[in-house]
Each structure stands twice: as C-alpha cells, then as structure tokens.
C-alpha cells in the first residue's frame, strides 16, 4: 500500500495525460483551421489585387480627351467669350472708371 496514492491521485495522472493529448489535438486542429482561414483570406486578397490590376490596365487605355474638351466647351469657353466681348465693347473699362451704361 505504500505505492498507492491517497485519494486516487494515481488515476488523476492518467486523466491528465489523456487531457494533454486531447488538448494537443485540439490545438493542432485549431492551428489547421487558422491556417486554412489564412490561406482563404490570402486567396481573396490575391483575387482583389488581380481585379484591381485588370481594372487599372483597362482604364489606362481610356481616352479622356473628349470628356475634358466637353467640360472646357461648357464652362471655360463661354466665360472667356463673355469677358472678351465685355473688354472689346469697353464695358470693363467703364466698370473701372465708375461709369455704367
């Protein structure tokens, strides 16, 4: 009876070994799950980067000249024409001297 532990502690040592194996197994499963999730996230990231590259390549070939010419013709050109007409008729000079038509 000298070899036996009081209160069944010898049986507790066996349970600890089994728990360690299951905890180890659980940790390994958790690590596999994290790695799978990380590789899935990396695949999504690479797909987004490739989509962005494709979009930028497609848009780099676009000609924006007509769009900016249209903006220029609608906003800058009318204002310039009005200023030139006002200058040629002397209206701007009359504003400067305080005379109005």
Q: Is the model's pLDDT at 37 over the cut of 80?
A: yes
Token pair for 63: 């000609």
Name the pLDDT band for 97 (thresholds 50, 70, 90).
confident
| pLDDT tens digits, 43-92 | 999 999 999 999 999 988 888 999 999 999 999 999 999 999 999 998 88
Domain ranges of the chain: 8-62, 64-101
Question: In Å, what is the CA distance from 6 to each residue of 1, 12, 95?
Answer: 10, 11, 111
Q: Is the model's pLDDT at 42 over the cut of 90?
A: yes
CA pair distance 63, 68, nearest whole angstrom: 10
Best CA proximity match to 81, nearest among 73, 70, 93: 73
Name the pLDDT band for 10 (thresholds 50, 70, 90).
low
Token pair for 85: 């007409």
pTM exceeds 0.85: no
């Amino acid at each position: 009876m000298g070899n036996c532990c009081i209160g069944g502690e010898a049986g507790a040592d066996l349970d600890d070994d089994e728990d360690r194996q299951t905890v180890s197994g659980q940790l390994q499963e958790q690590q596999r799950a994290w790695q799978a999730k990380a590789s899935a996230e990396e695949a999504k990231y690479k797909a987004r980067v490739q989509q962005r590259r494709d979009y930028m390549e497609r848009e780099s070939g676009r000609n924006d000249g007509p769009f900016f010419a249209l903006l220029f013709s609608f906003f800058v050109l009318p204002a310039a024409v009005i200023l030139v007409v006002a200058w040629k008729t002397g209206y701007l000079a009359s504003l400067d001297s305080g005379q109005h038509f």
